[in-house]
Chain A
Amino acid sequence: MPIKVLYHYRMYDTDVDTYLSKQTELYELKQRNKSPGFKFRKFKDVESAINDIKHKLIPESANLLATTHWSLNKDKDVLSKQLIFNSGKDREEYQKAIERAWALINHVDYRVTTTEGETIIE
């Protein structure tokens, strides 16, 4: 039974060091859930957006567990990834590849915010 999962990525338009120092400042002020206040980056196109957010899976071959469709919104500041899995097991393995990437390098760049869209089981 195919499972469709949607993720949306936005990226703060600042350099990593500035972003991390702002996060440290918010952490020290105990305001961790507050927005750092930077504008979101406008991506050039889908390919460069994927490159910009530094999307990573470990192992990369986990990509083969899903059919992936990438798209940009009209304003070009939201990159969306739709994944279609053939089974729940494939989805679990894909999720582990995300968690391994978080553990080792980062699944996406520090400056990227991720929101999960609706999961549809067809």
Chain B
Amino acid sequence: MHWVAMNANLRKHSSAFVDDDVLSGELCLVFLDDAKYTMVGDKMEWAPALWIEYEKEKLKKFNKITVINVLGKLIDFDKIIKSHLDNIDVEVYNIPEISWSHFAKEIKNLHKEETIDEKTQTFWTSIGVMRLNRFIFLSHLSKINCLSTALYPSMSREEFDYMCYQISKISKDMYGKVADIPLIGKRIFGDVKPFEFNILARENLKKSMYSLNAIQPCVDYYVQRHDEKYFMCIADETIPIGLNEPNTNTESILNFQPYKLINEKYEGESNAVLRWQGILDTNSELFTNFDLAKETYNKNTSVIKHNKQVLYDSDWDKIVSDSFQKLPGKVCDVLNNTNMKGALKYVF
């Protein structure tokens, strides 16, 4: 079976395209670190979906396409492929347990289980890399005078303007004015590696009832949702406020349960910018009203305890190995032959 790795860097170096001499039989598309959206006109598009369209004539010559994805879940991606290639057989295998377990295991090992004292502050987060959802989050914090609860990176004027451009395009000018966010970042730990940072950040998280879970924004049919910050929150009994794809705060993964915020009205909003804005607007009192934040936090007590137990009691290696057992042999072969599991070490 011929296979192509779906990876932005490989495509940019022209090595992630279908060779002319293999156009028959079954093609396997292996997704690796390729979640990022890109702007085309006023829409957030996903490069692999553009790739399908771009390679359509070659892809038509295959009988079958097998998609293997180890980072999050692709929702209805077979339908997207079939919208371009209606006569082709498509199978999609999502093995998100590989990436989710990787993060869960890392935090379980790094952050030894501790008894968490009474929470004394509502919110704390540290933004490492600026992304659109995080930018909107900072804009909201600035509007409600709560920027002091976040650390954030420096931005150039061009980066700031490009974020504003994307917000205006995606929301079709319905977002309103972006608040002033300082271009000079706020850092307190100095120049530390992510590993060291997570240890230093823990003291702040332990005191906070809420934090931010805003991973690389994806198009809505690519559910990534959880990275190390989500599991750090679970370890320290902090509620993560998710600004990701639809229903991030109402659905969950593995055996974890979703936390309940004040308002879920915007969870299903299909426009990403308006969804994030709506979630922040309708839950804004979590940042500004300590008593309400505490009351909402206390309502989540059983979920907080349950999720912490799942994090520390689960055998994450076994979860990955069990998910492998369920896969057809040919999918395992591709994952083993492409060293996908090994490659993930370099992705994270």
Contact = CB atoms under 8 A, between A and B. Distances in A.
Q: Do A and B bind each other?
A: yes
Interface of A: 32-33, 58-59, 92, 95-96, 99-100, 102-106
A78 to B, nearest CB: 23
B156 interface: yes
B156 A33 contact: yes
A96 B11 contact: no
Interface stretch (B47-55, B245-253, B256-264, B309-317): B47-55
Contact of A99 (B12, B40, B54, B156): B40
Interface residues of B, number: 14
A49 B124 CA distance: 53
Interface in B141-164: 156, 158
Contacts, number: 32
A96 B14 CA distance: 21
B45 interface: yes
B41 A104 contact: no
Given A32-B156, A33-B156, A58-B54, A103 B41 contact: no
Contacts of B156: 32-33
Contact of B11 (A59, A92, A104): A104
B301 interface: no
Contacts of A33: 156, 158
A100 B40 contact: yes
B39 interface: yes
A52 B283 CA distance: 53
Contact of A95 (B38, B41, B47): B41
Contacts of B39: 99
A18 to B, nearest CB: 15
A48 B47 CA distance: 29
A97 B76 CA distance: 25
Interface in B1-58: 11-12, 14, 38-41, 45, 47, 50-51, 54
B50 to A, nearest CB: 5
B62 to A, nearest CB: 20
A103 B40 CA distance: 8
